[in-house]
Amino acid sequence: MSVNRYRPHLLILPEDDANRQLANGFLQNPSVNLRAVQVLPPSGGWAKVHTDFIESYVAQLRNHPHGHLALLIDFDSNVEERTRFFKKDFPRDVADRVYLLGTLEEPEPLRVLRRMSLEKIGEELSTSCYEGNDQPWRHDHLQHNLAELQRLIANVKPFLYR
């Protein structure tokens, strides 16, 4: 289902299929307003997410001022470097509506450590956002997201959850 781009909405651009599974799990929370969020097809790597963002989604965000975009990547244990790489190219006029999130390495080690599917992890993360409980995000593979997560929740929670 696609969102109404003239109303507040969140697009999620995953790097790969594993990140898409996390994002799809996020949508399984029954409190999520499915008309306000859309998981986009995987880009095919973190560098491709960056390219797609620059070439396609900056213009979309400019054309749709109610839109927000979550870039869901693997940080490959390079959180600071990868964050700098992305954020240097966030245009000022849309930067406050773009969020860079992801696992420390790749989603698979998180799945193994948590002993649950990626979709189940995504659902748990969504529920924690809705309930205001960041404990699941404090996992070693996710805690680097906490500041970005707070910004995301502050901006999208009013329309993302019912």
Kindly report the number of other CB atoms within 10 A of residue 123's CB atom. Answer: 21
* Coil/strand/helix, residue 149: helix
Tens of pLDDT, residues 47-56: 999 999 999 9
* pLDDT of res. 2: 83
Tokens of 144: 């680097």
Tens of pLDDT, residues 2-21: 899 999 999 999 999 999 99
Phi, psi of 68 (to 5 degrees): -130, 150
Block residue for tokens 């006029």: 93
Task: Find out whether 25 and 119 touch, Cβ atoms under 8 Å.
Answer: yes
Of 47, 88, 93, the closest CA to residue 71 belongs to 47
Task: Find out whether 36 and 72 touch, Cβ atoms under 8 Å.
Answer: no
Of 109, 103, 117, 99, the closest CA to residue 24 belongs to 117
* pLDDT of res. 1: 63
Whether domain 9-160 has CATH 3.40.50: yes
Tokens of 33: 């307003």
Tens of pLDDT, residues 32-46: 999 999 999 999 999
pTM: 0.96
Tens of pLDDT, residues 109-158: 999 999 999 999 999 999 999 999 999 999 999 999 999 999 999 999 99
